[in-house]
Amino acid sequence: MLNRHDGIPVFGLYADHNNSVEVEYILDGKKEKETYSILTGPLKNDYVDNRNVTQLQEVKVTKVAKGFEDRLYFVNSMTTVPQGSDVNWLQPKSGGSGWQAQHSAGSVAFDMAPFNYIVDTQGEYRWWLNQDATYDSRSVDFSKRGILMGVNPTFDGKLTFVQGQTFGMFDLMGRVDQMDLPRGYLDTTHAMWPMENGNYLVRAAKRAYVNPEGHLVHTVRDHILEVTASGDLVDVWNLNNILDPYRDAKLKALDIGAVCINVDLESDGQTIDEFEIDAPYGDTPGVGAGRNWAHVNSISHDPSDDSIILSLRHQGNVKIGRDKEVKWIIAPREGWKGDLAKKVLTPVDSKGRKISCTEQGKCEGDFDFTYTQHTTWLSSKGTITSLDNGDGRWHTQPALPTQKYTRFVEYKVDDKKMTVEQLWEYGKERGYDWYSPVTSNAEYRGDRDTMFGFGGSTFLREPGQRTIGRINEIDYKTKNVMVEIDVYTDKPNITHYRSTIIDPKQMFGF
């Protein structure tokens, strides 16, 4: 531990406080104890404007059960910049008679200031990532723009992140390694995943890609890159060639007023049926390379067969091998064609009996698919966990928005029988007050047998209201709430992204 630092690293001090720190050690066989006073400065949000309700994001603790008092939660959030995003890609396009270009917003406009911190179960900030460590809203250098997302613990005590045109790692002592994407790729957001071989999986897009229409485009959230820790490209999964970028079954059911970070309250409740499914190229829901047809928002790696598990917000959940062949799909059957239709898993009950479902996914019995889901990950038990946001459920919009709900859900996949069983769910019973239309995450935690999750966009759509990010740990056996902590955005109608549990022993290696 000490070999990595000039002295003893200190983590978790209170901000704007004269902290008392005790150090115990053994010297020449004798136990020593020393006490130090460490004065810290206040935390500062560099992006305060006239929309702010608070400077920092408020934390309100609802419940912490006995045995969970030591939990620390990393909140991966963001805040808008006063001038807004002022950069866009020039989206190229080729016509039948020659090359031409049109101005259409690419994903580079996905640009917000980071807001990342760790809270304890008392609602106190215990760590803060300076906003200028990775970001500069006025920089003309694109490596300092974007949205910091995809924070996951690595195998060596660091945390991953992606941000616009860069990816990297940082540790809790503030050391940041930030690298440019491999040449030819752009716009990395949402997901980065550490692999057992020391490489990383990064979700990005392809620059200057010729689609089947013959148009030269920048693609949107549809490429997975395997890169080394130094940024070298190892492998690529081009989802335009692996899946069907023209499947629109789920796309047509989306609430167009909230598509991930893009929030438009004036379009609340409208679907893409009222827009062009083949709208101008750019960061807009639609079919085909050059539009947001896939929206991959999570990656997980299965080392048992060296395959990747993806959540595609606008398609479903898929597992793809190193050979770029689809192994299975968890999604309603509507719109899947040819060989891909054969990879759609059949829902079964606990006795292996087939559950009857409509093409749109409405099923009899104890089963439901995920809709606009986030973080479909392989759990430590070998099961699949996902945050089922619930927008466009059964490929439709309900009569009232208050009929929507979000779930934590767990599935068991039998890839030999090509079946999927729903093992566990939570959230439906809490209704609209627990609904998160976008972002968020869920994962099983074996250390305390809980399902941990974060509803990052509760009440996002309520005009003038700050959004709640709801941290929960739910007892797996009883479904009792063990932890519930709400964090409020500093401005109305923006969203948090995700949360993760921080274990100092794991992060610092002791």
Q: Is 103 a catalytic residue?
A: no
Which of the residues in the chain have pLDDT under 70?
Answer: 1-4, 90-106, 261-263, 265-269, 273-278, 510
> Structural domain boundaries of the chain?
1-42, 43-508
Q: How far apart are the first and last CA of the chain?
A: 7
**Does 43-508 carry CATH code 3.30.230.10?**
no
pTM (predicted TM-score): 0.94
Whole-number pLDDT of residue 221: 97
Query: How large a percentage of the chain has pLDDT more than 70?
Result: 93
User: What does each C-alpha distance from 385 to 85, 230, 379 come to in angstroms?
Assistant: 34, 30, 6
Predicted confidence at residue 433, as pLDDT, reads 96
The H or E element containing residue 150 is none
Asked if 186 and 202 touch (Cβ cutoff 8 Å), the reply is no
Within 13 Å and on the Cβ side, how many CA atoms surround 392? 29
| Inter-residue contact 69 to 121 (CB < 8 Å) | yes
The two tokens of residue 123 are: 């609602």
| Residue type present at position 450 | T
What pLDDT is stored for residue 274 in this prediction? 54
State both tokens at 40.
Answer: 């810290």
Q: What is the pLDDT of residue 104?
A: 45
Residue of 218, 295, 374, 496 marked catalytic: 374
Q: From 45, 42, 43, select the one nearest 16 (Cα to Cα).
A: 42
Could you give the CA distance from residue 134 to residue 167 in angstroms, rounded to a whole number?
10
